[in-house]
Amino acid sequence: MKRQQIKRRTLLSTAAGVLVASAVTAVPRRALAAEDEQEQLADYDTHSTEEHSTTVTSATGQQLRLTAYGDHMVRVSATRAGESFFSDTRYEMVRPENHTALRGGLSVTDKGDALEFRTAADDGLRIVLHKTPLRLEFFARDTGTLLAKEDATHGITWSGSDHSIATESFVPPSSEERFLKAGHGVLGRVPRLDRTGDTVSHNYADADAAADNPNNQAPGIVPFFLSSKGYGVFFNTTFDTTFSFGGDNGYTFSADAHDAAGERPQMDYFLINGPRFSQLIDRYTELTGRPRLPQLSIFGLHMSDKSFADVSDQNWWREKITQHRAAGFPFDHQVNDNRWRAGSGSWSGSWFEFSPDRWPDPAGYQKWAADSGVTVTLDYNRNNTNEMADWVDGPPPGYSFEEADLKNVKESNAVPDWSNPDARAWVWKVFWDKALDPGLGFPGDGLWIDETDDLGAIPYTAPTADGRTWAEDRNAYFLNLHKGVGEEGWDPDGDGHIGSAKRPWTWSRGATAGQQRYGHYWTGDIRQTYDEMRSQIRGMQTAGLGGFPFANIDGGGFGEGGTVSDAYYRNWPVAWSSLSPIWRPHTTASTKDHGKKASRWPLDQSAQAQADFAKYGQLRYSLMPYIYTLAHQAAATGMPMARAMVIDYQDRSQAYSHDLQYLWGPSLLVAPLTSDGGDVQNIWLPAGSDWYDFWTDATHTGSDTQDLAHRTRTGEAPLFVRAGAILPRYPYAQSTAYLTKRQLETDVYTGADGVFELVEDDGLTEAYLTGSGTSVTRLTFTDASTRVVIAQPEGTYEGAPDARRYLVRFHGLDSPVGMGVDGGATLPAFTSEAAALLSEQGTGCVWDAEAKVLSVITSEIPVTGGGGDAATVEPSGDPFPEVGGGTVYQAESARLDSAFVIDTRHPGYTGSGYADFTGTSAEGSTLAWTVTVATAGTREVLVRYANGGDTDRPLVIDVDGTKRATLAMPPTGGWDTWATTSFSADLPQGDSVSVRATLSQPSSANIDSLTLL
């Protein structure tokens, strides 16, 4: 299936602990062999040149080949005498097509004592290859900056038994050079972003590491690093790698075959010039493959049934989600853990197939899920592989390894070899036949592929189905699996595949570089401690540096069966998780053993935790156009959604030390609270910008000499907004499927000019890949004139709105001014945004004197596309008008009896939802508002509602217990069509006047709000 990208220009312009020792530092390096055991590149003999590459032969028959990949990357490959270069596609971490698609020009000049190479771009690379001995130096062409170099004693070597270790050694770095290592160690843990002076080894955990810690799992195997000097190196090998960034072990990187039989590692790496980190990430992911964009629903809330392993089934899921939504919380994605599967429904003894006992009607459930805006992940556990249909044990023609090589592996009768294309085809067929075939009508939007990282006990010498050894293939294990499920399984159009009609969400415990173009990862069964949280924040950032921008972490930690404190729950599963790429609270704690507090679901937590969950849920879902645009940027350029500070501030030392904070896109700065609240947290707000406290709108001037001493509050993640930021929003809804695009809200933070290019699509299919299935709306703010220009979108997609209302909020103003749209008359002023929306004109402005926020609401404007401006919002030149209109009381703030729930599936409501009658109670059900009446007297009261039925659904209204009116509530023509009815009544003065609506028959309209004029 052809895969293209939407306009990168558009996206780039917007994008302007507790550790396992073996995974991170002080790794013993067998590459440091005695000199007499090493073979080094000898002197120059001859060279031959092709269009894109030059091959140099040494006096002893060794070969060194330089190849241009585009204008800013050079591939360096070296072999010992008598060896042939590996085929370009031996390691599929590089996108296979790129070995031809990315070839660039490479000129070569013989300078006598050296060869000089240049890539085509003026800002590309200049490489000097000295002849005696063969030694490389890399320079930035435009600035002449020396990036890295070998010297007579530092270069490419082969060492160890049978020369099974290949090493590149550069001269020691300068004291100013800093290094970042992409990927992460086991369980997603990273001790710090700045790895200068460290020795780092991120590989599939081996038998020794497993013996020290059986929970070694989920490594992010990305042999790529970035230097502050503006270059990066990608080491193209799946043998175990070790990187040393100065210090006692020098500046080296090596590949080790562990003396296994078979091929020995070759030196093969790409040196990439930026010089900015954003450019390095862009070019690295161009080389290895762009990250796979998930469905829109994946950026909503995920919840699992893990804490309910004794009771969950399809009825439990439906009831749990319904209760959760009824309380006003959002929900998008259901993560099934074991219980859905046939057999025991436990970790073992169950297999990938719907249980006829616990899930007797998956097709019926899917109909409910589709109607309810719910998508579903199904899990597969490696240890149950042999229980699945048509499994064949043993090596080819079987799908496994030699029995002798599995004797120390847990569940050794269930070990697939994913290097075997037949094994990959088999597992996809099971996934298809048992769940994913659309003809079945079953749930299945995502695949959770678990415990594929626990095969470290396989000996390095074990043969694999592709003719290699486990020493060479184990780091490719995740990549091979995702290739089978993604490229070979899900992606093709045609029988037996899903194709472009729906994007997959496939995630495994651990990852290999290049996997991002097929699927995703999660960091495994992590601890539930603040130390772990700190490691995961850093791991999330290093994953993003290595092409995995959709970091997927157990929110709050998987744990070891115990519960957590209320403060911890509010700080991690709620606050930080909601401000990370994937919001998925998860734990192993059992409600059977510990009661409902063991659950990660908010309704099982304290009232304050529920309030926090609702607050962050409304924040994330209303910010979905901003968040989803970040996801599009990631898919087009590799730019992480959660950006390490070094990406934007590469040249500032503070960026390397402040690694427990990050940028959430170009505009927001997140500094998660990693302890109980009440202490002072030092936060770096970079100089050159003013920063707003998101929660209070208080402003701070950025500084590179002094951190902000921020007093923390439990459950409130410190969150700051850069002046000039433009944050696009939609009205809050409880599912991404319910979000309405007919109202685009734009929060503008004054103090600097700003631009944001909003990307939208259908949220489901891969039409966006062709460039014809997206729209881009440019939002521009000019600070000096307090002007916002909203352009008509470029492009369109299935389901795009034909008209839009725009709501612009200006933050940080000293006082209000009259505002107009497109040069028109000064808009009237109202008491609230809802009052303006519900006014006869449906337009207006609102001044919040306490927050210093001025809101402007336009009428609905046709979406024409094709360029031009949709609306210009700016001062009219008149003073702010006198405030009119009534006071709006939302239904979600009313007291609802059990017959009503908060719902958002029908757009057009004001506030954060409406009261929806459940149909489970008869007449007499009530909802009641407490209102403030400043002066006693006759007042008009409006009730806004929708009635999609074909008969009246009357309400009886009383005030402080006295009947005042009966409202007929006639049909409105549809549940998405809202109307207003009214009554007049004498109201007493007071701050707590009760206005109650009671059903006079066993059905009701949906109630949006009550307005007191």
pLDDT at 771: 76
Rounded CA gap, 541 and 521, in Å? 14
Question: Parallel, antiparallel, or unpaired: how do β-strands 662-664 and 668-670 relate?
Answer: antiparallel
For residue range 66-76, list pLDDT tens digits in order. Answer: 999 999 999 99
Return the exposure string of 454-466: e unless at least 16 CB atoms fall within 10 Å of the residue's CB, then b.
bbbbbbbebbbbb
pLDDT for the residue 7: 39
**Residue 212 confidence (pLDDT):** 58
Q: What is the mean pLDDT of residues 247-260?
A: 94
Helices (H), 623-748: 624-637, 645-648, 653-657
Average pLDDT score over the chain: 93
How are strands ordered across the β-sheet holding 926-933? Answer: 895-896, 926-933, 990-999, 955-959, 962-967
pLDDT in tens, 457-475: 999 999 999 999 999 999 9
Looking at residue 299, its pLDDT comes to 98
DSSP 845: E
Whether the predicted pLDDT of 18 surpasses 80: no
- Is the peptide bond preceding residue 291 cis, with omega within 30 degrees of 0? no
Confidence bin at 211 (pLDDT 50/70/90): low
Band of the pLDDT at 33, cuts 50, 70, 90? very low
Contact between residue 665 and residue 642 where contact means Cβ atoms under 8 Å apart: no
Q: What are the E-state strand segments in 344-499?
A: 350-354, 375-381, 446-450
Q: Are 391 and 351 in contact (CB under 8 A)?
A: no
Name the percent of the chain lying above pLDDT 70. Answer: 95
**Is the separation of the CB atoms in 283 and 73 below 8 Å?**
yes
CA atoms within 13 A of residue 956's CA, in its CB half-sphere? 13
Q: Is pLDDT of 35 > 90?
A: no
* 570 DSSP 8-state letter: I
Residue 815 has pLDDT above 90, yes or no: yes
Question: b/e string for 754-788 if b means 16 or more Cβ within 10 A?
Answer: bbbbbbbbbbbbbbbbeeebbbbbbbbbebeebeb
Residue type, 873: V
Using CA atoms, how far apart are residues 698 and 418, in angstroms rounded to an integer? 54
Q: What is the mean pLDDT of residues 784-810?
A: 97
pLDDT of residue 1001: 85
Stronger pLDDT, 821 or 51, i.e. the higher one: 821
Report the pLDDT value the prediction gives residue 14, as an integer from 0 to 100: 37
Which residues, in sequence order, are bridge partners of residue 848?
Answer: 853
Give the model confidence (pLDDT) of 518-550 as tens digits: 999 999 999 999 999 999 999 999 999 999 999
Instruction: Please tell me the pTM assigned to this model.
Output: 0.95
Each residue's pLDDT tens digit, 912-938: 999 998 877 667 888 999 999 999 999
3-class DSSP assignment, residue 266: coil
Average pLDDT score over residue span 764-769: 95
- Residue 605: φ, ψ to 5°: -110, 180
Distance from C-alpha of 167 to C-alpha of 541, rounded to nearest angstrom: 27
- The answer to whether residues 622 and 729 touch, using CB atoms and an 8 Å cutoff, is yes
Give the pLDDT confidence score for residue 34 in this predicted structure.
45
Output 261 or 762, whichever has higher pLDDT.
762
What type of residue sits at position 741?
A: K
pLDDT (mean) for 739-749: 97
**What are the residues facing 53 on neighbouring strands?**
67
Q: What is the pLDDT of residue 163?
A: 87
Confidence of residue 209 (pLDDT cuts 50, 70, 90): low
* Contact criterion met (CB below 8 Å) for 515 and 223: no
Quote the CA–CA distance of 694 and 811 in Å, as a whole number: 10
Q: Is residue 884 within 8 Å of 830, Cβ to Cβ?
A: yes
Residues β-bridged to residue 136: 129
Percentage, residues of the chain above pLDDT 90: 90
- Identity of the residue numbered 425: A
More confident residue, 718 or 8: 718
The residues, any chain, with a CB within 8 Å of residue 377's CB and separated by 6 or more, are 302, 333, 334, 335, 336, 445, 446, 447, 448, 505
Side-chain-side CA neighbours of 960 within 13 Å: the count stands at: 12
- For residue 638, give the DSSP letter: -
